[in-house]
Structure 1
Amino acid sequence: MSSTAIKSSTAPSPVVSRMRHGLAPWARISGIALCALLTLGPVIWTVSTSLRTPADSADLPPRIIPTAPTLDAYRGVFDKIDIWLYALNSTLVTGLIAAGQMITAGLAGYAFARLEFRFKKPLFALVLATMMVPLQVTIVPVFLELKAMGLTDTLLGLIIPAFPTAFGTFLMRQYFLGMPKDLGEAAMIDGAGPWRIFRSVYAPLAAPGLAIVGVLAFNYHWNEFFRPLILETSSENLTLPLGLVSLQGNLGTGSISVVLAGVILSMIPAVAVFVVGQRPLREGITSAGVNR
């Protein structure tokens, strides 16, 4: 049998080939739509329940689309808690932590990537090892240190301990390693020192990577609950996640619509930061992959 006959007998028919090419895009779209539905399902349910009256929020069978949408639950949030104060506290704490982590991660990542000093590798390994230590293990010594400095029950006590970031240091080190050394060597020939090289040459190029650190830090610490729960006791120093707990009422007897309305309101700043930072986040990940 000739090779032409073998090829013609094993090649798929035009109808089968068209079916394959026709089904593949629809299969991908269906899979993506299913994943999106599973991801957004709880959010859609939260928004739907926040627009119902307290009586309708417990209907069986549950309805996704409320029969009579109302904003009474959102008004109830402003009536029951000082959400503006809690949001201001969260914005101050989270914004300063994000800025502090961008600075510390940039400096530490550059030092581990470009500078030569004793015990460089063991120190970096020690930094990475801290990522494996749970927060619950270190909260007691952190609390005792803050108490000795008089920083318990203060916003400053939430901000300062969160400045060091092992993940951010690792991320920025990898980012700086992907940059060409020729830029720093050229600046060194021109008489620039290590600090000037970092500030004028590498830091501007690392802006997308720093944006990744800032966006991730903001979204994480905006929703942080455990540390503020341990370190804050005064109502005027509570962050937004802690303030929303009071919406549950005594023994959880509060309105579920009001609670979920508070959750939706607390999500708005984090979503806004992610939308604004989505472009530098995407560019940072893409450029890091290209550099490597």
Structure 2
Amino acid sequence: MIKGFYMRYFKLKHWGLNGWLLLVLALMSALQLACKKDLFEANINTVDNSITLTANLGPDQGISLSEQNSEMTLLILKWSDPGYFTDTARGNVIISYILDLDTSASFGAGKSYNLGVSVTSDSLTGLSLNNKLLAIGCTPSSANIVFTRIRSVFNGDTLASNTISFTATPYALPLPALLIMGEGGWTTPATRTNGYLLTSAKNDNKYEGYINFSYANWGGANCKLLSTVDNSGYGWGTDAYTLQKGADISTLGNLWITPCPNYMKVNVDLDALTISYTPIKFS
């Protein structure tokens, strides 16, 4: 009996040791695979080539914009593939591209535009380029030196192309505006009219204006906002200081501006979809 117990104990102990050995070997194998995967990820992040950017600019490297050529393609940018390593088992890596525009070669205060993935060219119409030039602070009707480049982004790594500079003369456009559209008995002009609009001085989706809310119903005024950029409407959001955007302004709830009647300074941020208004008095 004692001998049988000893043999069973020895077998359990023996198989237990084997089990532990197998577990250790399995963990070591998994660790090796993880290390190989990390090495592969490092390799796939490695850039083999630089990005070469070219543009369809003439000998004078200049572009003059006007309403007459606003629908024409004026700037075509093309760039080479950055040459990330790929793995046949996983397929090609997905690389996204960004267009940078600035009035400084340091690209410290310009604008960046996402171009999408798997693209190696971008075409800009006169209107699109003109809007971008105004957005980075170019002076209308004057020659401005502009710098552009392409950046590729993959897995947190960024690679910039060579920089191309050119001279551009944009034309002035009416400032983007939000028209105040009176509701609930308050009638306002149906077209762009000074005194009934908010403008975006920097073309950055932030609007400001001074509005005389002369009409009052139960101490407030009802209205909606209509964009001159894309005809989008903006109405009541979740409270008196938030907005909801809609393609059909008639389906939106009315904003409630209070206290009225009052002369108000109104600020709108279309990125944050917020509105604020403060009664003011002119001395």
The structure showing larger relative contact order (alpha-carbon pairs under 8 Å, at least 6 residues apart) is: 1
Q: TM-score range by the shorter chain?
A: under 0.3
Task: From the CA coordinates, give the structure whose radius of gyration is larger.
Answer: 2
Q: Which has the higher helix share?
A: 1
- TM-score (normalizing by structure 2): 0.17
- TM-score (normalizing by structure 1): 0.17
Q: Which has the higher strand share?
A: 2
